[in-house]
A and B are shown apart, each in its own frame.
Chain A
Amino acid sequence: MIYTKKSPALLIMGLVVLLWGWLNQSGNLDGVQGWLHTSAYADHVKAQDKYSAEMRAAAEKAAAEGKPAAQLTAPKSKFNDLKAEQANYSFIFGGIATLLGLGVLAWRPREGHLDYYLSIFPGIAYLIFIAFVVRWGLDPLFAGWGKAAEPTLGWDFAKIFNLNYVVLGILIGILIVNVFRIPDWAANGVRTARFFLKTGVILLGTLYSAAELAQLGALSVVMIGVFVLGSVWLVLIMGKRMRAENSMTAVLSAGMGVCGVSATVAASPVVNAKAAEIAYTIGTILVWGVACMFIFPTIGHLLGMGPVQFGAWAGTGILNSAQVAGAALAFDPHGIETLKVAEIFNITRVLFLPLIVLWLAAWYVKHEVGAQRVNLGQVLIAKFPVFVLGFILMFLLSTLGVFSPAGHYQGKYFSADQVKQDKLLGDRDLKALEVEMARLRGPEGTQALADHFIAKAVNIGQRHATAADALQGLQDLIANRKMTSRDQDGVLAATAKLPGLEAGAKGAIEKASKAAWHSSKTIAAFREWLAWLFAVGLIGLGMQITVKALKQAGGKPLIIGGVVGTLKAVGSLIVVLLFVREFI
């Protein structure tokens, strides 16, 4: 069989992206980019005007004094940075896609491995192309529409529904597979979406400190342990009460308890699930997963949850593992912090999977007359998630300092003199902080701050932080123009979430925190790649969600799944809000 499909699609995509890169580099797209990125463009124009005025003044002064004109450094512009980034990515992707596209057209494929492996590139390029459209076009477009509609609606619909590049990418994937169908030339490559996600998780291993991993790992083992075992047990009980078939009960308990579709796929052959049972279970889990991906981030924002709390909740409460990653990125699309927490929970789930499959296999053999025994050792080896070893390897390399300076994760930039002058807070930041501090020292401000810290339960040392710690932290920040400790950073990060805090003060705290957490260039590049890997992977996974599969949700699995899924989501939310502290 020949897998490579002769199509000019890859070449066309390559040329279109190359053109986009060139138009960005030459400035011909400034009007479009300015429309898409209104705020960055406004800042850019303001800075350019100021720079031009300074240049003119300097030139006039130099001319009057008969001296050569002074050289002024052009101001940094977020707008220029984003254009340059788009141009760079476009040239890399467009160049490769154009060459491969020409190759596909010129080459006469013959049966064999080469044909098979080459056939995946058009599909991969298709996913990346969609990711570009979504991240560079639709994401800022929806953000702009949300803001534009805010005065009329009274709320920003794009923000409330988390219509960022992650959610939009998954939705576009679902739309393509169900309405337009995946083109034949892209079908093989689209299936590699899983590879992108697994690579993303492996790369994520570089972003944890040993302390973080130990604490998140312990938290996830406890949460997943309680809720996985609890859900599996509850489904087994409910299945028996509702007189469901043993095989249906077993496969449903794996899906509801561990990691959704993945667990159903792993457990079905072991418990001899029937075709209809598999269809009902997977349909039910997919419906739940897609719904949760939209509901969870909105609730998380409404409850003011932070990355640790939300990551822990999504990682425990969402049935399906793909939607855990989707929800984490939907909640926090421009940072990796929530994803970092959620993925630890995903990894813990998948490590639980072989054990749960073994448990269910044993349960099935005990309850079903004539059931065949399974080879436990074989199940354990076959179901072990190999990519987790890659994650651990990257974590070890990172901890040994291969990718980042030694001490990087311990907050080197809090105490050393490594914060560059231009990263220190400016006069305007200090003024904003001073005004807010004066307000917070008043009786109303102190009370609001105290209530906020009781609700947030931020841990410093062996106690919870208080309003006094927040005021001290602000005072130190004003004095030093930078964060000086992890505790201060944690306390002030919570302070920045205080409702009603003035935007300038909030921005100053965030700026100082960012300067303290300054990453090595390698780690910063990893973070950027990660965002792309997950974006591309999730678009591809969206293309695996068919309405035909969703429509199978029904029967006893829907009833049992509805009860257990709701209990799991609500129960884990309560536990997270009561016991999980915001900052680890």
Chain B
Amino acid sequence: MPLKPVSCTQDPLPPASFTPARLLLCHHGTPGAAAAAALALRIAQPGYTDLIHCLVVPDLWGGMQGDDWLNNASTRDAFGDYVEKLLEGDARRELAVVEGEARARGIAWRPLLRYGDPAREVLAVAAAERPDLVVMGPPRRKGESGLRSRLDLEQLVRGLSCPLLIAPRP
């Protein structure tokens, strides 16, 4: 029997015991990402926090030409370009939404667009940017719609050297 989600508190905000100077918001297009963005924007302090917005395009797209062998190279190139533009467009739209919110609140915002395995890429960004806090959305429940590009939470937690905050399910 699936476990029912337990609500820990009425207010999803953690106690504001510290304000991160560098906050890494992880976001790779899942529905929980919006909750993570909202939480990150509430935690970030205008004029103090640098909000680094890391968006990972999952590497499942690398296998999206599958085992096609009948098409000409030009058709495959056209498909590759088309998918690349689609993904870039989707990513830029998602970035723009958070950017708008951050700018409106006067929070310094910086995007980082990466391609690869989500957990590995977040770890790489965290190692390079050295954030004080990482914020991300909750993993999707089984059966929920959307692309299956689950981030390996255990790998991320084992590799991170800073606190990780997971936004509650919206």
A contacts, CB < 8 Å to B: 177, 193-194, 197-198, 259-262, 264-266, 268-269, 274-276, 278-279, 282, 285-286, 289, 320-323, 346, 349-350, 353, 382-386, 537, 541-542, 544-546, 548-549, 551-552, 554-555
Is B83 interfacial (CB 8 A cutoff)? yes
Closest to A537 in B: B69
A193 pairs with B72, CB closer than 8 A: no
Q: Contacts A289-B67, A322-B69, A548-B59 given; 4 further ones with Cβ under 8 A?
A: A261-B67, A269-B82, A275-B90, A546-B60
5 A–B contacts from the bound complex (CB under 8 Å): A197-B69, A261-B65, A382-B78, A544-B65, A545-B63
B66 pairs with A545, CB closer than 8 A: yes
Which of A262, A274, A275, A552 is close to B71, meaning CB atoms less than 8 Å apart?
A262
Chain A residue numbers with a CB within 8 Å of B65 are: 261, 265, 544
Please give me the 9 A-B residue pairs with the lowest Cβ-Cβ distance, nearest first.
A546-B63, A549-B63, A548-B60, A261-B66, A269-B82, A194-B69, A322-B67, A541-B67, A262-B70
B76 pairs with A265, CB closer than 8 A: yes
A383 pairs with B90, CB closer than 8 A: no
User: Complex Cα distance A384/B72, Å?
Assistant: 8
Min Cβ gap B116→A in Å is: 11
B contacts, CB < 8 Å to A: 58-72, 74-76, 78-79, 82-83, 86-87, 90, 145-149
A546 pairs with B62, CB closer than 8 A: yes
Count A/B pairs, Cβ under 8 Å.
113
User: Complex Cα distance A449/B90, Å?
Assistant: 66
Which of A262, A323, A386, A552 is close to B60, meaning CB atoms less than 8 Å apart?
A552
Which of B68, B82, B83, B145 is close to A261, meaning CB atoms less than 8 Å apart?
B68
B64 pairs with A282, CB closer than 8 A: yes
Chain B residue numbers with a CB within 8 Å of A383 are: 71-72, 75
- Known contacts A268-B82, A546-B62: does B72 contact A320 (CB below 8 Å)? no
Dominant SS among interface residues on chain A: helix
Chain B residue numbers with a CB within 8 Å of A323 are: 67
Chain B residue numbers with a CB within 8 Å of A282 are: 64, 66
A549 pairs with B64, CB closer than 8 A: yes
- Known contacts A268-B82, A383-B75: does B69 contact A321 (CB below 8 Å)? yes
B83 pairs with A275, CB closer than 8 A: yes
Chain A residue numbers with a CB within 8 Å of B67 are: 261, 286, 289, 320, 322-323, 541-542, 544-545
Min Cβ gap A22→B in Å is: 35
- Known contacts A269-B78, A382-B74: does B83 contact A544 (CB below 8 Å)? no
User: Complex Cα distance A541/B65, Å?
Assistant: 11
A350 pairs with B70, CB closer than 8 A: yes
Min Cβ gap B75→A in Å is: 5
A541 pairs with B60, CB closer than 8 A: no
User: Complex Cα distance A262/B65, Å?
Assistant: 8
B148 pairs with A551, CB closer than 8 A: yes
Closest to A543 in B: B67
B147 pairs with A279, CB closer than 8 A: yes
User: Complex Cα distance A289/B83, Å?
Assistant: 22
User: Complex Cα distance A549/B149, Å?
Assistant: 10
Min Cβ gap A385→B in Å is: 6
Closest to B73 in A: A194
User: Complex Cα distance A386/B73, Å?
Assistant: 10
User: Complex Cα distance A385/B73, Å?
Assistant: 10
Chain B residue numbers with a CB within 8 Å of A541 are: 67, 69
Chain B residue numbers with a CB within 8 Å of A549 are: 60, 63-64, 66
Q: Which of A286, A350, A545, A546 has the most CB of B within 10 A?
A: A546
User: Complex Cα distance A194/B73, Å?
Assistant: 10
Chain B residue numbers with a CB within 8 Å of A265 are: 65-66, 68, 71, 75-76, 79
Min Cβ gap A543→B in Å is: 9
Chain B residue numbers with a CB within 8 Å of A197 are: 69
B68 pairs with A275, CB closer than 8 A: no
